[in-house]
Chains A and B, each alone.
Chain A
Amino acid sequence: MDRTAITFLILLLSSVVAAPVATARDEVMVEVTSISASTIPASAQTLARSASPQVDSRLAAFAKKLQSLFAYNRYAFLGKSQTQARFGGASVIQLPERFSLEVEPERRAHAEDDRIDMVVTLLRDVGEDRPGTGRGRPQSEVVLRTKIRLENGGTVLLGGPPISGGVLILALSARS
């Protein structure tokens, strides 16, 4: 086998090995767990089975963190959604209680650390721009917009907006 053939073979093998890695790096897997946190009044708590915080079993992965960070005594699981968001594009995740989350991963040039830059926008549907006409378009308000640099595979908690019977907390994880 001459030198040209060996070079060609090495190039071919490199492209085969590199291709899946490049594809995988083009997208970010974003997972959002929606939680409703609330405080049961002390009087009602005595009637409850236990005075310790009530955490939905589906929130087992976050239970300790939630209890160490907040003083709510009831955490209910509202849902879990995930999306593949492309770098430079935007993906929307529909959430409970007329909320939605827009995730825009941004590619950083010469990034040396394993972190994901993204703009996260929490929107709330506030009705239509021409109510009653049947031709209105949905309108939403930006409840929160933040630009974060999240460790690959890391989680950040977003929360605060009031929902029926409590406040909304979102556990957002991202992996590329």
Chain B
Amino acid sequence: MLSCYRFEKRLTAYADGELSARGREAVERHLAACPRCAAELDSILASDRILKRVAPPAVAPGRWSQFRRDLDGALDSIDREARRAVRVRETRPVDPLRRRGLAVAVACAALVLAVATVGPRGMAPLGLWRGGNACTVESIETYAEGMTPMYFTSDDPQMTVIWVFSDESGVPGGRQ
């Protein structure tokens, strides 16, 4: 199946001359047969031409050093304001009862962490260091009109659902 979207991704690289000879040939073959992608390429090239025509603004000698001084001054003033806002809390020694509670809490946390990471014999570790889910979704998108993609995870760490909402299908609960 030949789809424009695969070539649309490569048009900018093609315009910048970043494709391999094979990739370039594939794009050129597609452009010869697809007026829509050819128009898209024209648009990219036109944008490039406009950008190349725009010269960077001229900066007077000594302006950068003045800018640096102004910036340092502004940052110092922010620092001064921040210091003024901070209140130093009164420090008190921790009473022995609270200290013991803290030690018990730390010991419990260490025990839970050890069980979760290593796991007792014959029991699978909880997978704390694996993100806790069998699937991580890095990006999600749709090109279809009237659809909204999203994903959700359930209590079951082994199951992630990636769903495209539409007016027709409604929510995944099945309620229309």
Give the interface size bracket for B toward A: 35 or more
A interface footprint on B18-60 (CB within 8 Å = 1, 0 otherwise): 0000000000000001000000000000000000000000000
A140–B149 Cα distance when bound, in Å, is 18
Check A143 against B2 for contact (C-beta < 8 Å).
no
B134 within 8 A of A: yes
A141–B141 Cα distance when bound, in Å, is 12
A125–B144 Cα distance when bound, in Å, is 12
A158–B1 Cα distance when bound, in Å, is 21
Residues of A within 8 A of B5 (CB): 142
Which of B61-69, B78-86, B91-99, B151-159 touches A? B151-159
Give the interface size bracket for A toward B: 35 or more
Which of B107-115, B118-126, B165-173 touches A? B165-173
> What total of A-B pairs shows CB separation below 8 Å?
133
B174 within 8 A of A: yes
Question: Nearest Cβ distance between residue B153 and chain A, in whole angstroms?
Answer: 10
B162 within 8 A of A: yes
Question: Nearest Cβ distance between residue A85 and chain B, in whole angstroms?
Answer: 15
Residues of B within 8 A of A156 (CB): 134-135, 159-162
Check A142 against B162 for contact (C-beta < 8 Å).
no
Q: Assuming the A-B contacts A72-B174, A92-B1, A140-B1, are A148 and B166 also in contact, with contact meaning beta carbons closer than 8 angstroms in the complex? A: no
Question: Nearest Cβ distance between residue A103 and chain B, in whole angstroms?
Answer: 13
A148–B141 Cα distance when bound, in Å, is 12
19 A–B contacts from the bound complex (CB under 8 Å): A39-B176, A70-B174, A72-B173, A92-B1, A140-B3, A142-B143, A144-B147, A146-B139, A148-B162, A149-B138, A150-B134, A154-B134, A155-B158, A156-B134, A156-B160, A159-B162, A159-B172, A160-B149, A160-B166
10 more contacts with CB within 8 A, not counting A137-B33, A162-B169, are A69-B154, A92-B1, A142-B141, A144-B141, A148-B137, A151-B130, A155-B134, A158-B162, A160-B172, A167-B172
